[in-house]
Amino acid sequence: MAKKKRTVTKTTSAPKKQTPAMYPTPAAIELATPQKIVAIDLKTKTITIEGSPPPEVLAMVEIERRRLNLVERITGYTKTLAIRIAPHWGERPKHISPAKWKNLEQRIKAMAELPETAPAEARDALMALQTLNRMAADLAEAGDWPDSIDRALCYAIDFGQLLQRGQTQIDHGETVDKGRRNAEATAGATEANRRKKIDRSEAALVEFNRRMATAKTKRMKTSTLKNMSQVMEGDGTTPKWGSLAALKRWSLDWIGRTPTE
């Protein structure tokens, strides 16, 4: 007797949801009015348009000019790194003179170490600044060079940043996305609870005014709030207008809008 062949049903899992980018690509520039292209020079990589360049294009050109200006980039990096390091220098080591300690460049050349309490980003900033100074010293020693070398070095910096961004996305993209969604969910829940509390307070105020309108004396406020707190929702456990403690607390905000005791 031949064995019955077992059939296996293959199931395909849903494609994995793409993790959002930690470093989104900048949005493309949208011009207010279309521009007519007059000429394109592939050798110099320039485009000539009719009339005056739009402000958006001029701004983009300025950003690109600054991005490929090696001196400006080194200056900007130095300032940024110094700001990260400055709060964590600590006390001046005895082997460094006060004059050198006051001068940031001399302080870095003296290889001043950060205190053990300094955060990781400050230590990385110090190493980056030391590396930047070594690079600047080697460039100064090399003397004059063509502008193409400046641009190549700027591209090399960009290349390193892009490699780091890609690795950071691989290593931490899902974690960052999860944290962002958790933060948004927490904020949403907090706002929903706040809105719910306001709604209950306003509903309690309406009911309180209705009951006090038929009260024989305004001094029945406390007993009115107590009676309201004993009215439950359909589940039999949740106070319809809030607990007595909540009603008393909310009633403090009703001053000027409700009969006073």
pLDDT digits (tens, 9 = 90+) for 157-199: 999 999 999 999 999 999 999 998 898 888 888 888 888 888 8
Question: What average pLDDT is seen over the chain?
Answer: 84
Helix (H, G, I), strand (E, B) or coil at 46: strand
**Strand pairing partners for 49?**
37
Q: Which is nearest to 261 in space by CA: 229, 217, 230, 226?
A: 217
Residue 103 has pLDDT above 80, yes or no: no
User: Which tens digit of pLDDT belongs to each residue from 19-57?
Assistant: 888 888 888 888 777 888 888 988 887 888 888 888 888
Q: Count H helices and E strands in the chain, helices first.
A: 8, 2
Strands 46-49 and 37-41: antiparallel
Query: Strand, coil or helix: what is 154?
Result: helix
Query: What pLDDT sits at residue 47?
Result: 83
Q: How far apart are CA 61 and CA 54, in angstroms?
A: 11
Closest-CA residue to 136 (of 164, 103, 109, 162): 109
Q: What is the rounded CA–CA span in Å between residue 68 and residue 151?
A: 5
- DSSP symbol at 258: B
Return the pLDDT at 6. Answer: 64
Tens digit of pLDDT for each residue in 131-154? 998 898 898 888 888 889 999 999
Q: Which residues 6+ apart lie within 8 Å of 46 measured at CB? A: 40
